[in-house]
Amino acid sequence: MNSGLHRTLVWLLFVAVFFAEAMFVERPVLLLIGVLIGLVFQYFSFGFANFWRNALVEKNTVGMRSHLLMLAVGGILFFPALALLPDLHGAIRPVGLNVLIGAFLFGIGMALVGSCSSGTIRHMGTLNLRFYWVFLWMVIGGTIAAALADWWQNLASLPSFSMALQLPWFVGLVAHLTVLGFLYLYLHRQESKAYGKVKPLISKMSPFLWAGVLLALLNFVLLLVNQAPWAMSWIFPKLGILTMQVFALPIEWEFWDFTAQNELSLAKPLLQDSIVVVAVGMLLGVFLAFWWQSRAMDGSGLATKKCAKIKPLQTVVKDPAMGGLMGFGAVTAYGCNVGGFFSGIVSGSLHGWVWMFAALLGMSTALLASKWLSQGITRQKY
């Protein structure tokens, strides 16, 4: 098939999916918010996993500093809204061992796959087939976590605590911004020591600056519209249980604690599930930006990419294992980099901070182990 015709057909397919979604979703505005999130991620080359990896390995902290800016803007918007508007519900969860374990495992997966939940959606939107495979295993891992909910939900934990609700919101906001300020200075100093200079973030031409601000605003709009902030990890057990239901697999998912706790949400059709609709919107938004960028580069509508060489060990072992770890960890820890880290912290929830440090520890552990293993193999060769 002619490559130009192929690209046109793919583009028409995505447009058709968008309009079909818009016609049948319960609240089309959620789809639009998801599309805008996807556009921001792809247009500004924004992400989580690679930004963290760059900070840990290369001491290039501009991406991670943009996360702190995003959390600061988000906190300024979320704290008074959550405190003064009782109908809004933040991503506030208990602080338990499940958060530590789940986020640590998610961090390992992020390091070795090179992506996270939102990053996987972004790669899928750019038609990277490898990440459709990773996503499948995230669904499997998340479904296994749902099956084991009676175990991890009973691990030792502290009650949920939000600086936006358990403290006067303005006091909590000052504390929130102070912590972020110290972390920003720390990252700034680390990069300065490594390179003698620091890549600027606060400048009108910085793509990461604009991306962080826009994502904070979009998450806040989502909070106002949906009465809950952006989340993603719910998709994994939802799709897994739906698959078992559709194919009548011999698994007694109806008797899981997770199923009983989420009976109403599981019963919703996919196009009426707000989390699923936003994720589909993000996928479409990424593709729209990808198509536009590709058209600007080669005038055809989709950039021509060389097919990546298939790596059997990565495809058969690494990606399934790490995808499964990320899916399991995200559900176990009450969220991924989106719901656990981003929405959790801007909601003032203590569990969001615990999630961040546990995920960073998991990522650091995986990167060190990978480095040692690589050095060991190199020594054996010589």
Question: What's the pLDDT score for residue 242?
Answer: 95
Lowest mean pLDDT among 74-78, 146-150, 269-273: 269-273
Largest interatomic CA distance in the chain:
66
18 vs 45, more confident = 45
18 vs 163, more confident = 163
pTM of the model: 0.91
Question: What's the pLDDT score for residue 285?
Answer: 94
Residue 1 confidence class, pLDDT cut points 50, 70, 90 = very low
Q: Tell me the mean pLDDT in the region 288-300.
A: 79
Lowest mean pLDDT among 44-53, 292-301, 363-372: 292-301
Residue 140 has pLDDT above 90, yes or no: yes
311 vs 358, more confident = 358
Q: Tell me the mean pLDDT in the region 238-244.
A: 95
304 vs 197, more confident = 197
The average confidence (pLDDT) of the chain is 90
Q: Is residue 336 within 8 Å of 117, Cβ to Cβ? A: yes
| Distance, CA of 122 to CA of 130 (rounded, Å) | 12
Residue 304 confidence class, pLDDT cut points 50, 70, 90 = very low
Question: What's the pLDDT score for residue 306?
Answer: 47
What lies within 8 Å, CB to CB, of 287 at 6+ separation is 14, 38, 125, 126, 127
* Residue range 168-204, pLDDT digits in tens: 999 999 999 999 999 999 999 999 999 999 998 877 6
8 vs 250, more confident = 250
Q: What percent of the chain has pLDDT over 90?
A: 76
Question: What's the pLDDT score for residue 178?
Answer: 98
Question: What's the pLDDT score for residue 254?
Answer: 87
Question: What's the pLDDT score for residue 21?
Answer: 57
Question: What's the pLDDT score for residue 10?
Answer: 59
* Residue range 305-352, pLDDT digits in tens: 444 566 777 778 889 999 999 999 999 999 999 999 999 999 999 999
Q: Tell me the mean pLDDT in the region 80-90.
A: 97
Question: What's the pLDDT score for residue 13?
Answer: 62
Residue 18 has pLDDT above 80, yes or no: no
Question: What's the pLDDT score for residue 300?
Answer: 53
* Residue range 95-119, pLDDT digits in tens: 999 999 999 999 999 999 999 999 9
| Plot region of 347 (φ>0 → left; ψ -120 to 50 → alpha; else → beta) | alpha
| Distance, CA of 331 to CA of 231 (rounded, Å) | 11
Question: What's the pLDDT score for residue 346?
Answer: 98
Q: Tell me the mean pLDDT in the region 70-93.
A: 97
* Residue range 209-224, pLDDT digits in tens: 999 999 999 999 999 9
Q: Is residue 126 within 8 Å of 287, Cβ to Cβ? A: yes
Question: What's the pLDDT score for residue 299?
Answer: 58
